[in-house]
């Protein structure tokens, strides 16, 4: 994706001592970055606040992350906002999150228009409250013509459920003669996942120091580099994003092969 280098330099001007834009190679920025946004609750509790305040602060971190991704020229940013397991949280917190998703999306639509960002959702949206579902559909409709970065929100998403759903769809296609069982390969499976048409993430960032995948993009992360930061999600910012890209660029990606030294 194209980037405005002058704007990017200005955006990264006041750098902390340990990181600067010149630490990364702009020609090797990962095309798709995916993020497990974790630690909103702990961020709030550490400040004596209700967990909900952590989610509200998380929206600001997410807005900055979308802007950073556009400025760095990513093709795609995806974030894990709500898992199929998150329904087990107290009803009040679930309601707050659903409300926050809907209000944030409406509020941020002008940013998506301004930055030419195309929205996508990963997950089963049918189970969402009607208001949230309707706003998501509006977001999809209003940004479908955009040609810039894809911003994919994983909501009511679970990777095992996604793979089981793909299996059901493929089985149906075999049963009705659309494809032959012998033609099922990795490409066919990938085309039946929510991420169809998107490149696999090259970099996965997880905040709050947890070393787990939490049922997130199990298929798509097969060769992805991981960056785990102890920062809680509301503290995540453009500088930590740059540290993650710097770490990514320092890795030796072999995809199971060997690289000449």
Residues that bind ligand FPP (CB under 6 A): 37-42, 55, 58-59, 62, 81, 86, 97, 100-101, 104, 153, 208, 233
Cβ proximity to ligand FPP: between 135 and 203 the closer is 135
Indicate the residue among 72 and 153 with the shorter CB distance to ligand FPP. 153
Q: Which is nearer to ligand FPP, 24 or 62 (CB)?
A: 62
- Nearest approach in angstroms of CB 147 to ligand FPP is 22
Angle between helices 91-114 and 130-143 (to 10 degrees): 10
Known catalytic membership, residue 86: yes
Q: How far is the CB of 210 from ligand FPP (least distance, A)?
A: 8
Closest by Cα among 174, 116, 110 to 144: 116
Please pick, among 23, 50, 86, 200, the residue that the annotation labels catalytic: 86
At closest approach, how far in Å is the CB of 105 from ligand FPP? 7
Residue 54 or residue 201: which is nearer to ligand FPP going by CB?
Answer: 54
Nearest residue by C-beta to ligand FPP? 41
CB-wise, 50 or 173, nearer to ligand FPP?
50
Q: Active site includes 116? A: no
Shortest distance in whole angstroms from residue 157 CB to ligand FPP? 11
Q: How far is the CB of 3 from ligand FPP (least distance, A)?
A: 24
- Residues catalogued as catalytic: 38, 86
């Amino acid at each position: 994706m194209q980037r405005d280098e002058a704007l990017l330099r200005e955006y990264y001007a006041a750098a902390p001592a340990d990181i600067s834009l010149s630490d990364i190679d702009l020609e090797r920025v990962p095309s798709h970055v995916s993020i497990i946004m974790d630690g909103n609750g702990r961020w709030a509790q550490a400040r004596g606040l209700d967990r909900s305040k952590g989610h509200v602060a998380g929206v600001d971190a997410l807005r900055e992350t979308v802007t950073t991704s556009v400025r760095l020229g990513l093709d795609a940013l995806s974030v894990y906002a709500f898992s199929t397991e998150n329904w087990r949280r107290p009803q009040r917190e679930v309601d707050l999150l659903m409300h926050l998703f809907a209000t944030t999306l409406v509020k941020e639509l002008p940013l998506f228009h301004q930055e030419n960002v195309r929205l996508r959702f990963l997950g089963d949206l049918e189970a969402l409250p009607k208001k949230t579902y309707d706003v998501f559909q509006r977001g999809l409709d209003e940004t479908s013509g955009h040609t810039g970065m894809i911003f994919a929100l994983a909501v009511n998403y679970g990777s095992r459920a996604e793979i089981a759903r793909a299996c059901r769809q493929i089985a149906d296609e075999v049963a009705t003669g659309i494809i032959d069982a012998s033609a099922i390969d990795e490409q066919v499976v990938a085309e039946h996942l929510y991420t169809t048409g998107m490149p696999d993430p090259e970099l996965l960032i997880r905040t709050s120091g947890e070393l787990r995948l939490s049922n997130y993009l199990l298929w798509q992360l097969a060769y992805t580099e991981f960056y785990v930061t102890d920062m809680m999600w509301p503290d995540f910012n453009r500088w930590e994003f740059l540290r993650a890209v710097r770490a990514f660029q320092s890795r030796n990606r072999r995809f199971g092969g060997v690289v000449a030294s």
